[in-house]
Amino acid sequence: MSTAKITLIGLYNYDDTIFDTMSLPEVEIETDENGNHIAVTVEKNVVIDNMLLRYGEFEVLYPNPDFFKVAVKAVSDSLQPTFKRWIKAWNIEYNPLYNFDRYEKQTDNTKSQSELNGETHNKGNTLSDGTDNTDNGNTNTTSVTPYDSDELHTQSQVVDKGHDERKIHNEDTDKFDGTNKTIGNEKTDVKHDGHLYGNIGVTTSQQMLRDELDVSRWNIYDEIAKCFARELIIPVY
């Protein structure tokens, strides 16, 4: 006489709360370069639907609904770190054809101080000599006309001639005594934020594209469902 097997779908139809103790972590991830964060998780109902679809016809390891719930909670608690890493990795945004992506922040501080002391002494004499010679003169002539002639006749003529000589001597003295002192302080802060990314040529774009297609086939809901099925299901017909 054979014992009836209780399948997963049968137990769920009997008690649809057997997965209520399943918990999936919420993970905070960065969404942009400014450091903005959002909280993400996976949909619990999608995981349950995957389990029922893929493992519904298999016998459950714990046919008692109450103990099944305890087992579901134990599996959930023990796999929280694994699920967190999966969820975080699953939500990473990246360019599949880039194999180099680095952020860097750098701050350079420069300080300098300078002091300049100096004395200046200037003394000079300027001498100049010169002679200014000037010739000057004029002639004054007086003419008259006789009554019996139209011609002019000189009545008188005065000539004045002169010569002026002037000597010039200039002497200028220029003297300056002074002290100069200059003190300077300079401080410079330079901040640099950089984002370096692209393809550095280690692998071809075609190879990276094939890897991206392989990654895209990995389904987090199937993987989580497998983790629960491994602990709760007897995978034989």
pLDDT, tens only, 30-72: 777 777 888 889 999 999 999 999 999 999 999 999 999 999 9
Average pLDDT over residues 229-236: 92
Supply the pLDDT for residue 30: 77
Per-residue pLDDT reduced to its tens digit, 62-100: 999 999 999 999 999 999 999 999 999 888 887 777 776
**Which pair of structure tokens corresponds to residue 179?**
């002290």
**Which pair of structure tokens corresponds to residue 38?**
């959002």
Supply the pLDDT for residue 133: 63
Supply the pLDDT for residue 155: 46
CA atoms of 7 and 155, how far apart (whole Å): 164
Average pLDDT over residues 201-228: 87
Supply the pLDDT for residue 37: 83
Give 179 or 212, the one with higher predicted confidence. 212
Give the Å distances, CA to CA, from 109 to 34, 105, 112, 210, 235: 24, 14, 10, 46, 65
Supply the pLDDT for residue 169: 60
Contact, 82 vs 30, CB < 8 A?
no
Contact, 200 vs 99, CB < 8 A?
yes
Question: Per DSSP, which regions of the chain are E strands?
Answer: 27-30, 37-40, 59-60, 100-144, 153-198, 233-234
Per-residue pLDDT reduced to its tens digit, 165-184: 666 665 656 665 667 666 66
Give me the helices (H) in the chain, please.
Answer: 8-14, 44-55, 65-78, 80-90, 205-216, 220-232
Query: What CA dihedral angle connects 220, 225, 226 and 227, to 10 degrees?
Result: 90
Supply the pLDDT for residue 107: 76
CA atoms of 107 and 140, how far apart (whole Å): 96
Supply the pLDDT for residue 1: 41
Contact, 79 vs 229, CB < 8 A?
no
Per-residue pLDDT reduced to its tens digit, 111-164: 766 666 666 665 666 666 666 666 655 555 555 555 555 565 554 444 455 555
Give 210 or 186, the one with higher predicted confidence. 210
Supply the pLDDT for residue 82: 95
pTM of the model: 0.57
